[in-house]
Structure 1
Amino acid sequence: MSDFHVLIAGGGVGGLTLAQGLKRAGISCAVYERDPAGAPRSGYRLTMNADGGNALRACLPDDLYDLYLQASRKTPPRGVAVVIDEQCHELTTQPHLGPPNDGERPHTAIDRRTLRHILRAWLGDALHDDAAVTGFTDHGDHVEAQLADGSTVTGDVLVAADGVGSAVRRQLMPDVEIIPADVGGLGLFARSPLTPEVLAELPDVLLDGFVIARDKRGGMLALGVYDPREPVAEAAARIAPDIHMDAVDPYMMISGGVPPGTSAPAPADWTDDTPAEVHAGMREVVADWHPALRGLVERIDLSTLFWFPFRRLDPVPAWPSSRVTLLGDAIHAMMPTRGQGANMALRDAGILSARLAGAARGEQDVVAAIGDYEQAMRDYVYPIMDLSEDHSRFGGGGLKQGSGA
Structure 2
Amino acid sequence: MTDPRPLHVLIAGGGLAGLATAQGLLKSGHTVEVFERDADLDRKQGYYLHFNAIGGEALRRCLPDDLFALYQQTSRQNYDRHQSIVLDDQLNELSSREHMGPPNDGPVPHTGVHRRTLRQVLSARLGPAMHTGSPVVSFVEDADGVTATLADGSTARGDVLVGADGIRSAVRTQLLPQVPVIPTGIRGIGVYGRTPITPELDALMPDILDQGVLMAVDRKGSRLLIANFRPRRAADEAAADLAPDVVLDPVAGYIMVSCSLSEGTVVPPVAEWTDQTAVDLRESMLAALEGWHPAARAIVAGVELESMFAIPFGFLEPADDWASSRVTIVGDAAHGMLPTLGMGANLALNDAALLVDQLDRVARGEAELVEAIGTYEEQMREITYPILRMTLDHDKNFGGGALEEASGDRHAG
Supply the AA of the counterpart residue of 1:163. Answer: G
- For residues 378-404 of structure 1, what are the alpha-carbon distances to aligned partners after superposition, in whole Å with 9 as ceiling and x for unaligned? 111111111111113345953448xxx
Partner of 1:398: 403
Question: Whole-Å Cα distance in 2 between the matches of residues 394 and 347 of structure 1?
Answer: 22
- For residues 294-324 of structure 1, what are the alpha-carbon distances to aligned partners after superposition, in whole Å with 9 as ceiling and x for unaligned? 1111111111111111111111111000000
Partner of 1:30: 33
Measured after TM superposition, the shift of residue 196 of structure 1 is 4.4
Measured after TM superposition, the shift of residue 110 of structure 1 is 0.6
- For residues 331-351 of structure 1, what are the alpha-carbon distances to aligned partners after superposition, in whole Å with 9 as ceiling and x for unaligned? 101111100000000000011
Matched residue count: 401
Measured after TM superposition, the shift of residue 257 of structure 1 is 2.7
Contact 1:135 1:168 in 2 (8 A): yes
Judged with a 3 Å threshold, the aligned counterparts in structure 2 of structure 1 residues 263 and 337 are, in CA distance, closer, same or farther, namely farther
Contact 1:92 1:400 in 2 (8 A): no
Supply the AA of the counterpart residue of 2:190. Answer: G
Measured after TM superposition, the shift of residue 2 of structure 1 is 5.8
Pairing of 1:224-373 with structure 2 (within 5 A) = 224-373=227-376
Contact 1:283 1:298 in 2 (8 A): yes
Question: Whole-Å Cα distance in 2 between the matches of residues 12 and 77 of structure 1?
Answer: 30
Q: SS at the partner of 1:7?
A: strand
- For residues 100-159 of structure 1, what are the alpha-carbon distances to aligned partners after superposition, in whole Å with 9 as ceiling and x for unaligned? 101000000110000000000011111000000000001122111110000111100000
Question: Whole-Å Cα distance in 2 between the matches of residues 70 and 264 of structure 1?
Answer: 37
Say yes or no: does 1:123 pair with 2:126. yes
Measured after TM superposition, the shift of residue 18 of structure 1 is 0.3
Q: Which blocks of at least 5 consecutive residues in structure 2 are unaligned? A: 407-413
Contact 1:233 1:244 in 2 (8 A): yes
Supply the AA of the counterpart residue of 2:247. Answer: H
Contact 1:6 1:28 in 2 (8 A): yes
Pairing of 1:2-151 with structure 2 (within 5 A) = 4-151=7-154
Q: SS at the partner of 1:158?
A: strand
Judged with a 3 Å threshold, the aligned counterparts in structure 2 of structure 1 residues 89 and 21 are, in CA distance, closer, same or farther, namely same
Question: Whole-Å Cα distance in 1 between the matches of residues 263 and 8 of structure 2?
Answer: 51
Measured after TM superposition, the shift of residue 40 of structure 1 is 1.1
Measured after TM superposition, the shift of residue 77 of structure 1 is 4.5
Pairing of 1:211-226 with structure 2 (within 5 A) = 211-226=214-229
Aligned-CA RMSD value = 1.5
Contact 2:337 2:391 in 1 (8 A): yes
Measured after TM superposition, the shift of residue 233 of structure 1 is 1.1
Q: Which blocks of at least 5 consecutive residues in structure 1 are unaligned? A: none
Once the two structures are overlaid, the 10-residue window that deviates more, 151-160 or 258-267, is 258-267
Question: Whole-Å Cα distance in 2 between the matches of residues 242 and 104 of structure 1?
Answer: 26
Taking every aligned residue pair, what percent have the same amino acid on both sides?
A: 47
Q: SS at the partner of 1:398?
A: helix
What TM-score do you get using the length of structure 1 for normalisation? 0.96
What TM-score do you get using the length of structure 2 for normalisation? 0.94
Q: SS at the partner of 2:340?
A: coil
Supply the AA of the counterpart residue of 2:144. Answer: D
